[in-house]
Structure 1
């Protein structure tokens, strides 16, 4: 207990962490039930739009992958990646899906967490303007106001890096204004309070579902290969719960494959596990739009080419991707020095985590009720 409290104080001091709150889950206790091992998954946000909590946990729960893995998983919500890592480091959660840059930043400050498996593998952030905007390329942003989720968010880091790559001074040549996401962000652009938005693809899809159109500026090559959301655990948990973590990752990647093949069925599973996504509406009234939003997230989390059954190597992060992610994380100010791969990454669970028959998962997904 003393060690847990010490870690919590360390995290709160060096990372500025906020609290973690429980959300509606399956109510599993921390002790194993019925021969199953218990796992606490910290979701690094509120469950509003469908993303990793649907693609991994909900599908795993509803389609039986977690049961087959002999796991009883419960969930909690954290206010962002940093807070989710607090939950993991303090021992109140076993695993989270957090931004890899946040893992590197935590590791640089001495927090004993490590990434153990990749999740989002394609850069999710885009710069968007109204279709009739005079802004055609990155340099045209000089003198503009860019809407970001918040000044401390990943979108602000992206916007600064985007401007800097175009030869602009992110402190003098552009102005960042917090506009949130969804209707609030759309209104800020429509009312010309901002000239452009810096959001993630899933957020744009949600807005586009309401009838709003965007024109997207090209992302420079510097963003290609940067890794984002990644499974992370406390370092000593890798040794203590090696088999449990391997089974959890395997079930998660099976669920990801299922979601890639049949995103509509995955979305239905999401409603079952997280009814709050429906916001009081009927599933039939939301399924089409929510599936589009979920598909946008899946597009960032899976290879851009090839058939789902051929994806393979779930969770792998290459040396090149690691190096590019370190460079971006340092440029964005999250870390001061290069973080060595061995210090913040342990891929030793992935070989066994990938030990499943993809054809069986694909067949199950295709048979899922429409």
Structure 2
């Protein structure tokens, strides 16, 4: 059975011809067919490249006996809703949005971490009169969208400065890339609240930025994590484990050889080129991908030493729940068993890392 996404609910990403839009898990599709929702309205050099494109091109999904398609949603809230309502099967979404969905009795659960180093930060133009968080009083802040992880981050940052969002500081959706840069440069907003990879795109286009330091409240908070339905864990565990295993192999490949990953990304998603040549696009896109990988992989050691892909320690969950309460996505911490299972990670980590690294080192077009 093939699951068609509801018109207007999600925008299908550009796909390779061999893939078909289909779903499983909560969606009622065939057991080995998945739709992965990318929690952004447009494609970019992030998980769609480092996870999906590499796993697809290198045959990691095929080795697991699964067929995976992609779709885009306008932010993490919409992505989690798509999974929870059976329109899709798995997403890498803002962990706070997953907690919020569980709090609203949406039947999703986190099965593995992805972005483990907090990627969000406030930025202004050099010379701005905003030199500290308190200087945001009376200002306008650009967020990706009010349905993205950008908005709760901005609210938590503002509250930590003793200010109230919407009352003292206005949040305006500005997207990413050129649109966000234009909003800042033109004065439509006074600051941006984006993630590191998005800033690298802006800076590579020639816009200089100055950054505000994050307060300590953001240390140890998890950003993107993989979420599926509870039913998928119970009824389709082997294939979800296979998806995670393929994804973490792709992450290892990408960290070992980011340029190869980016070139694979262009092959799987030609729209990433925007009509330009690979060589014209590669420098800026590679910088963006490397910035994203820096947020998604350990900060120490080299790829050959990394292990326990997807693990989220209890202390990180405590910090993440505390942050999510402060961002008003949930009213109080939730029972950890309602939002997280680590039962799939032993199988997800059961692969030969040395073989993946060799594949990355020897890759050629």
TM-score (norm 2): 0.90
Tell me the alpha carbon deviations over residues 157-195 of structure 1, each in whole angstroms, 9 at most, x when there is no partner.
Answer: 222211221223334433333333222222222233332
The 3-state SS of whatever aligns with 1:82 is helix
Offset of residue 81 of structure 1: 2.1
How many angstroms apart in 1 are the aligned matches of 2:42 and 2:147? 20
1:256 to 251, 256, 259: 251
How many angstroms apart in 1 are the aligned matches of 2:317 and 2:153? 17
How many angstroms apart in 2 are the aligned matches of 1:30 and 1:142? 47
How many angstroms apart in 1 are the aligned matches of 2:350 and 2:148? 36
C-alpha change, 1:44 and 1:135, in structure 2 (3 Å) is closer
Offset of residue 30 of structure 1: 4.9
How many angstroms apart in 2 are the aligned matches of 1:153 and 1:73? 24
Number of matched pairs: 355
Would you say the 8 A contact 1:246–1:352 is kept in 2?
yes
Determine if the alignment matches structure 1 residue 20 to structure 2 residue 10: yes
Tell me the alpha carbon deviations over residues 238-291 of structure 1, each in whole angstroms, 9 at most, x when there is no partner.
Answer: 121111111111010000001111111001111111111111111121011111
> Which residue is 1:15 aligned to?
none
Would you say the 8 A contact 1:98–1:232 is kept in 2?
yes
2:54 to 59, 65, 80: 59
Determine if the alignment matches structure 1 residue 201 to structure 2 residue 196: yes
C-alpha change, 1:233 and 1:208, in structure 2 (3 Å) is same
How many angstroms apart in 2 are the aligned matches of 1:61 and 1:151? 31
TM-score (norm 1): 0.89
> Which residue is 1:182 aligned to?
177
How many angstroms apart in 2 are the aligned matches of 1:248 and 1:152? 26
The 3-state SS of whatever aligns with 2:152 is helix
C-alpha change, 1:196 and 1:22, in structure 2 (3 Å) is closer
The 3-state SS of whatever aligns with 1:334 is coil
How many angstroms apart in 2 are the aligned matches of 1:154 and 1:41? 18
Runs (5+) with no aligned partner, structure 2: 25-30
> Which residue is 1:90 aligned to?
85
Would you say the 8 A contact 1:127–1:196 is kept in 2?
yes
> Which residue is 2:230 aligned to?
235
2:97 to 94, 102, 107: 102
Q: How does 1:1-370 map to 2 (within 5 A)?
A: 19-25=9-15, 26-28=18-20, 30=22, 37-369=32-364
Runs (5+) with no aligned partner, structure 1: 13-17
Structure 1 segments of 4+ aligned residues over 6 angstroms from their partners:
none
C-alpha change, 1:196 and 1:21, in structure 2 (3 Å) is closer
